[in-house]
Amino acid sequence: MKIGLFGIGLNTYWGQFEGLLDRLEGYRREIADRIGAMGVEVTDAGMVDDPTKADAAALLKENDVELVFLYISTYALSSTVLPVVSRLNVPVVVLNLQPTAAIDYDYINSLGDRGRMTGEWLANCQACSVPEVACVFNRLGLRYDIVTGYLGEESVWEQIGGWVEAARVAHALRHDRMGVLGHYYCGMLDVYTDLTKMSGVFGTHFELLEMCQLKELRDGVTAEEVQAKIDEFYDTFEVSSECERAEIERAARTSVALDKLVKKYDLGSMAYYYEGASGNDYENVVTSVIAGNTLLTGKNIPVAGECEVKNAEAMKIMAEFGAGGSFSEPYAMDFEDDVVLWGHDGPAHFAIAEGRVGLVPLPIYHGKPGKGLSIQMTVKHGPVTLLSVVEGRDGIFLLVAEGESVPGKVLNIGNTNSRYRFGIGARAFMDAWSKAGPAHHCAIGTGHIADKIGKLAFLLSIPVVKIS
């Protein structure tokens, strides 16, 4: 993934103030080096100090940059920057970064030469052009944001790092191939979605898959592959002694087939559900997918049950941010402890569990046909972020909230049960979250990353709503 960078200044200054250009170029190179150290390739289009240098835009477009940082190195005319930005079809983040936290007033005043003094001042004159640039961008509807501070300020680099990380996630979504296996859970109107809109917003390709494709792969699984997968189950999960050997083998065979399906179609995420005639071969497959889909999810190939495509996208976002992203839904409230309980009997993200993840038998899948193995886990105690991809009346947006996963009693019913506390309280949270209009599923990840998700929404040019 490539990040673009260019600086702006005023070429009239270079002949007036010796050494100023070299100094400002040095600051830009410092910025380029620090961004490059974040694990991305930086396309540095250099100093744009005259409208005729708008060919910098061509260089940035040729390199297919995901995001452009515009460094205001000193005062620059808005007529200089506009020809570049107007030709780019990517968001721009304006860097209003001084060399230091404050001007060295005593040093500049001691120079005794107002020409030299002015040159020193201009090396610290980044803020002067920010309102001018913003004014022009606003009037022309160009997308931008601003980072203000100084080069050695850690919070500045945290913000820049957040932008780079958000750009990396946007890039990953645009190159993701999501499998849609089976069909929606009939009657869950909130889950239904417009794949065309989803593809248009996130750039994700949707590969429509049939159960027969998974069954064909499953039929070809060898005994050696099944045993290797069983070994993986025992390495990854706390396998309950209640699990019958036949159920473990059934789940292992399906898990191997799921791995093959992902590899065959180069999938980075998946949503699934199937319900057909009782006792058919596909029912045997779909009632044994939870363990395998949990393994995939924990390897950052998120899988959402009940064919919740929007939630698979939310899980993918959380996974790409390194936060996990576990499939969940609210199912009860504890008014005595002021917490909301969330869980699901579907696949989980085992890498963000509190302790070992249990693999347990379920005698019946509530609301679904059949029986089989399921996952029992609690999300790691500490800060968490909830994310929902919402399809509203006016289009797609992101819904986010930050809270805490807290210890306490949960039901041991073969679900991913956790207790979550929110700053506004359980009642206000449930009301506000529900009124925002999400489907009843969401992706839960560790850490507080709402700010990064907000940056991603900006890059995708969609709204973000934060419940706080």
Task: Tell me the per-residue pLDDT of 245-303, one tens digit each, with 9 for 90 and over.
Answer: 999 999 999 999 999 999 999 999 999 999 888 888 999 999 999 999 999 999 999 99
pLDDT at residue 441 tops 90: yes
- CATH fold of the domain at 176-467: L-fucose Isomerase; Chain A, domain 3 (3.20.14)
Across 456-463, average pLDDT: 97
pLDDT at residue 421 tops 90: yes
* Residue carrying the six token digits 């609690």: 378
Task: Tell me the per-residue pLDDT of 37-73, one tens digit each, with 9 for 90 and over.
Answer: 999 999 999 999 999 888 899 999 999 999 999 999 9
pLDDT at residue 366 tops 80: no
pLDDT at residue 197 tops 90: yes
Same topology for domains 2-173 and 176-467, yes or no?
no
* 307: three-class secondary structure by DSSP: coil
User: Cβ neighbours of residue 82 under 8 Å, at least 6 residues apart?
Assistant: 51, 136, 140
Q: What is the pLDDT of residue 109?
A: 87
Across 399-412, average pLDDT: 95
Q: What is the pLDDT of residue 115?
A: 86
* The amino acid at 128: C
- Cα(467)–Cα(464) distance, integer angstroms: 10
**Strands 339-343, 382-392: pairing kind:** unpaired
Tokens in use for 333? 């409230």
Where in the chain are the domains? 2-173, 176-467
Task: Tell me the per-residue pLDDT of 3-45, one tens digit each, with 9 for 90 and over.
Answer: 999 999 999 999 999 999 999 999 999 999 999 999 999 999 9
Q: Are 340 and 414 in contact (CB under 8 A)?
A: no
Alpha helices by DSSP H, listed for 37-113, are 56-62, 78-85, 105-110
What percent of the chain is modeled with pLDDT above 90?
A: 88
**Strands 144-150, 92-98: pairing kind:** parallel
Across 322-349, average pLDDT: 92
Q: What is the pLDDT of residue 345?
A: 80
Alpha helices by DSSP H, listed for 186-330, are 195-202, 211-219, 223-236, 245-264, 281-286, 290-298, 309-320
Structure confidence at residue 242 as a pLDDT band (50, 70, 90): very high
User: Cβ neighbours of residue 432 under 8 Å, at least 6 residues apart?
Assistant: 424, 467
Q: What is the pLDDT of residue 386?
A: 98
Kindly list the strands in the beta sheet with 2-8, ordered across the sheet, starting from the edge strand earlier in the chain.
41-48, 2-8, 67-72, 92-98, 144-150
User: Cβ neighbours of residue 390 under 8 Å, at least 6 residues apart?
Assistant: 310, 396, 397, 398, 399, 436, 437, 438, 439, 465
What percent of the chain is modeled with pLDDT above 70?
A: 100
- CATH fold of the domain at 2-173: Rossmann fold (3.40.50)
Structure confidence at residue 130 as a pLDDT band (50, 70, 90): very high
pLDDT at residue 415 tops 90: no
Judging by beta carbons within 10 Å of its beta carbon (0-12, 13-18, 19+), is residue 189 exposed, middle or buried? Answer: exposed
Mean pLDDT taken over the chain: 95
pLDDT at residue 367 tops 80: no
pLDDT at residue 75 tops 90: yes
* The amino acid at 327: F
- Distances from the Cα of 263 to the Cαs of 167, 177, 182, 284, 337, in angstroms? 26, 11, 18, 22, 45
Q: What is the pLDDT of residue 30?
A: 97
Structure confidence at residue 344 as a pLDDT band (50, 70, 90): confident
